[in-house]
Amino acid sequence: MATRPTHLTLSQRARQAGRSCPITEAEIYAGIGLFVIGAAWSPLFLKSIPVSLPMVALASGVVLAGAVRAEHPIVQHSTWVEHVTALALVVSVMGAGLRLDRPFSAARWGGIWRLLAIVMPLSIVALVALGKWLLQLSLADALLVGAILAPTDPVLANAVQAGPPGSDDESDARFNLTGEAGLNDGLVFPFVMLSLGLAAGPQFGAAELGTWFLREMLWALVAGVGSGIALGRILVWINRRLSKERRLSATKSGFVALGLSLLTYGIAEAIGANGFIAVFVLAVTIRNALNDVEYPRQLNHFLSEMEQLVMVMVVVLFGVAVGNGLLGSLTLPEFLFALVTLFVIRPVATWLGLQRSGLARNTRAALSYFGIRGLGALYYLTYTLRYRGGDLPAGVTTAVGLVVLLSIIVYGVTTEPVVRRLQLDNGTGSAADL
C-alpha cells in the first residue's frame, strides 16, 4: 500500500533537488505552536526574575538563527515584517485608547500634548543632528533615523502603561506614557514620508515640499482624527438604538476589537488619512462614550493577547536577524549613537518638554526614562526598505537594530526595579506617581 508522503519526506525531496530548505514545514508548525504556548505561559515564570517576555523571544530567535540560516531576514522579508508589525501597532494603539479612563480634554491631556508637541520634535532634531555628525548620514537618511527612533513603542512599553479599563491603574506616568505611545507612531509618519521625498534627490523641490505638507501634515492627520471620531460616534449611535441583546457587546467576542481596529485602519488609509491616529481616536471615542467597563475590558483583554502573540513572532524573527549578522558591521560610532539615543536624548528632551508642566518629580523621571523603542521602529524601517527597494545605508539598519536590541534588554531588566524605586521615592510605597 502506498503511504501518504509526509512533510519531512517532501522536505527531503526538496533538498535532494538542490533547493535550500534548512527546516521542514512540520518543524515550522511545531515551532509556531511552541512560541504561542510560551507567550501565554512564560509570564508566570518571569515575575520573580528580571527577564521580560521580549527578552525570551529575542534569545529564542538568536538560538534559532543557526537552524534558519537566513542572511538578514528583516531585510529579505521586509514586506512580511512590515505587515505583521503594522498589525501589532494597530492592535496596540486600539488597546491604548481603550485603557485611558480619563475623559478627553485639553487640560487633562496636557502632559501628553507636551510629549508629542515638544519632546518628540526635539528628539527628531537631536537625532538628525547626531546622525549627520556621528554616522555621517545624508539629511534624508538622518531624518529617517530620527523619525524611526523618536517615538516610544506602544507594544514593548505595555508593562509601564495604564491598566485595563476601570482598573484604577492609571497614575499620571502610566496615563501619559500610554497616550504618548498611542499617538506618536502615527504622528511621526509625515517625517518618514519627508525622508523618502528627500531621498529622491533634486526632483523633490518646493512644489513637492508643499504637496507633502498639505497631504501628510494636514490632510492625513486631520482626516485621521476626524475619521476616528466619526466612526466611533457612528458605532456608539447604532449600538444605542439597538436592543441590548443585539448590540456588539452582546456578542461577548473580543474579535470585535480586532475587526474595529482593522476596519478603521483600512477606511482611514483608503482616504489618505493616518490609520494609526484614526484607530487610537476611535478607541478613545468609544471609551469616553461608555460608562460600563465590562465590555471594554473584554476587548482590551483580547487585544493584549493578540498584541503579545504578534510581538513574540516579530521579536523572534528579529533575534534570528541578530544571530545571522544584522549587527555584524557594527562600528563604534553606531554603538555610541544607540547609547546617546536611549540614555541622553530621551531624558534631556523630556526634561525640557515637561518644564512647568505641574507633573510630580517621580512622574517626570518615569517619562524621561521609559523611552522604549521596538516594533514601531521595525515597522518604519521595513516600510522604508519597501519604498526604497532595500536601498538603505548599512549604518541606518545597524543603528536602528542596535537601539531596538538595547531597548529590549535594558528595559526588560530594569523596568521592575525602576518602577519600585520611583514608588519608594514617593514616600508611601504607593503607585500614585507611577
pLDDT in tens, the chain (434 residues): 444 444 444 444 444 444 444 566 676 677 767 767 776 676 676 666 777 888 888 888 888 777 766 666 677 777 888 888 999 999 999 999 999 888 888 888 999 999 999 999 999 999 999 999 999 999 999 999 999 999 988 887 777 888 888 777 678 888 999 999 999 999 999 999 999 999 887 788 888 899 999 999 999 999 999 999 999 999 888 888 887 777 777 777 778 889 999 999 999 999 999 999 999 999 999 988 877 777 788 888 888 888 888 888 889 889 888 888 888 889 999 999 999 999 999 999 999 999 888 888 888 988 999 988 889 999 999 999 888 877 788 889 999 999 999 999 998 888 888 877 766 344 333 333 44
What's the whole-model pTM score?
0.87
Q: Are 130 and 317 in contact, with CB atoms under 8 Å apart?
A: no
pLDDT (0 to 100) of residue 4: 46
Spatial separation of the C-alpha atoms in residues 7 and 26, rounded to whole Å: 6
pLDDT (0 to 100) of residue 428: 36
Residue 284 CA from chain centroid, whole number: 18
What burial class does residue 124 get, using C-beta atoms within 10 Å of its C-beta: 0-12 exposed, 13-18 middle, 19+ buried?
Answer: buried
pLDDT (0 to 100) of residue 430: 38
Looking at CATH, the fold of the domain delimited by 80-425 is given as: Na+/H+ antiporter like fold (1.20.1530)
Secondary structure tally for the chain: helices H, strands E:
21, 0
Structure-block grid coordinates of residue 278: 484614526
pLDDT (0 to 100) of residue 186: 93
Residue with cell 501628510: 216
For residue 335, the one-letter residue type is: F
CA-based nearest residue to 94, from 189, 216, 217, 181? 181
pLDDT (0 to 100) of residue 14: 41
CA-based nearest residue to 165, from 78, 101, 84? 101
Q: Are 384 and 145 in contact, with CB atoms under 8 Å apart?
A: no
pLDDT (0 to 100) of residue 248: 72
CA distances from 347 to 197, 385, 426 (A): 30, 29, 20
Q: Are 296 and 98 in contact, with CB atoms under 8 Å apart?
A: yes
pLDDT (0 to 100) of residue 229: 95
pLDDT (0 to 100) of residue 69: 64
Cα torsion through 346, 347, 353, 357, rounded to 10: 140
Structure-block grid coordinates of residue 263: 476596519
| Residue 156: DSSP 8-state | G
